[in-house]
Amino acid sequence: MPEGGRKQGVIRRCLLVLGAALLFANGANCGAYQRTKDGRAVVWNNFPRRGDSAVWSGSRDSNGYATGYGTLTWYKGERTIVTGSNIPAPSKGSAALDRYTGRMVRGKFQGLVVNVDANGRTFHGTFVNGTKSSDWIGGSPPPDSQQSNQRVTKTASSAEPAPPAAGPPRFVASSSPHPLVSPTPSVLSSNPEAVETAVKSRMISDFKGQTQSVLSRVSDATQNFREVDRLDSMQQLPPPVSESVNSLVDRARDFRARLGYETALSECKTETETVDALSALDQSGRSLAGNDAIEANSKLNDFLKNNPEAETQTQKPLWRYLTSMRQLFGRLEKEAEAHSQRAAAFAAVGKTGDAIREYQEAYRTFPNPATAEKIRELQRNSLGL
């Protein structure tokens, strides 16, 4: 082989080796920032994959990065293959993969993070700058005092630590994992009451911030809680907003469990009521989307019966919106009942066609499963089935 050809071959081999090395190096640190589904926040994705999307329930800083306490839910787009080819079809939806709850700093998790995977299993671990720095541990994190007691017990008994849980794959441990420990063990041992007070204050502050953030998102989705006067103007909350409400409800439940219901109510009465109101709104919208106005109205009545008046100016637009929904449901239910009574009268004298038309009008006015079943029953009878 000529000398020039040998040199070119050596150069090509060197380039291949260098390219492989660069690819390996990039694979070791392939994370990237991306925007959430609604475009409102920027979050860190350690392993970006085609079709990945996320919903962040918390706040964002002045630069748009997710910040503070909240829940990050990851979704995987479900793509199909066009029949007769290897070309992927557009995504037909998304499936929830994992939910991570903890504190964000500039779009990255920092500190204790709780994960719930797609199968409902719970893990917890410690994060540093968006990367998991300890093995996942199965179950919810115990209170700080219980963690301290467990460490003391293990030291005294010299028991072998249990193997770490496998945990979800999205966040991996750093090259030097260390056990989950309290970030300030010396302070904890010297002044546990001060730490407990600080943790409690931080939990209250985070809960209030997350509640205000979700309230703002729901306000945007409902045109600033514009009162409704028609059924078609009552829309289900967009999926990302509905997810943020559900995350807030989960956070409120955990908040009450850890601080105690009476403490939570006394410290965050306004926020607790607001969460319940947002939950009633979201559940009512989902029931209406399922053509069950009776259940939707029941959700509103249950809430407003126990919380008839807003206690703060911030709450009033939401309360007015819920009240307008309940009033509309009440009016439409009466109109539908009039059609149902006429339908029953027609059915009693054998005028099945007229009865079906009246029931259909009742269903259009105030949809619900009971009226739908009456329509189906009359249609079956008219066909002799």
Question: Tokens 């709780």 appear where?
Answer: 114
Residue 276 is assigned to a structural domain of this protein: yes
The whole-number pLDDT of residue 159 equals 37
Q: 105 to each of 56, 209, 265, 364, how far by Cα in Å? A: 13, 15, 28, 49
User: Beta 32-35 vs 66-77: how paired, if at all?
Assistant: unpaired
Identify each DSSP E strand in the chain by its residue range: 32-35, 42-45, 52-56, 59-60, 66-77, 94-105, 108-117, 122-128, 131-132, 137-138
Question: Does 161 share its domain with 264?
Answer: no
Q: Which of 284, 280, 264 is nearest to 272 (CA)?
A: 264
The residue out of 117, 152, 182 marking a domain boundary is 182
Residue pair 126/137 in contact by the 8 Å Cβ criterion: no
Give the end of a domain, one of 182, 204, 231.
182
Residue 298 forms part of a structural domain: yes
Contact at 8 Å (CB) between 99 and 43?
A: no
Unique residue bearing structure tokens 């947002």:
278
Please give the tally of structural domains in the chain: 2
Check: CB of residue 244 under 8 Å from CB of residue 104.
no
Do 164 and 196 share a domain, yes or no? no
Q: What pLDDT is attached to residue 193? A: 55
Give residues with Cβ within 8 angstroms of 294, minimum separation 6: 333, 366, 368, 369, 370
Kindly state whether residues 216 and 174 are assigned to the same domain.
Answer: no
- Strand, helix or coil for residue 26: helix
Domain range for residue 79? 32-182
Select from 116, 147, 182 the last residue of a domain. 182
pLDDT reported for residue 251:
86
DSSP secondary structure letter of residue 88: B
174: three-class secondary structure by DSSP:
coil
DSSP labels for 299-352?
A: HHHHHHHH--S-SSTTTHHHHHHHHHHHHHHHHHHHHHHHHHHHHHHHHHTT-H
133 occurs within a structural domain = yes
Mean pLDDT in each 10-residue stretch from start to end of the chain (385 residues)?
52 47 42 85 83 86 88 70 38 64 90 81 84 78 48 36 46 36 35 62 86 93 92 88 90 84 85 95 94 95 93 94 95 96 94 94 95 93 70
pLDDT at site 205: 86
Predicted confidence at residue 322, as pLDDT, reads 96
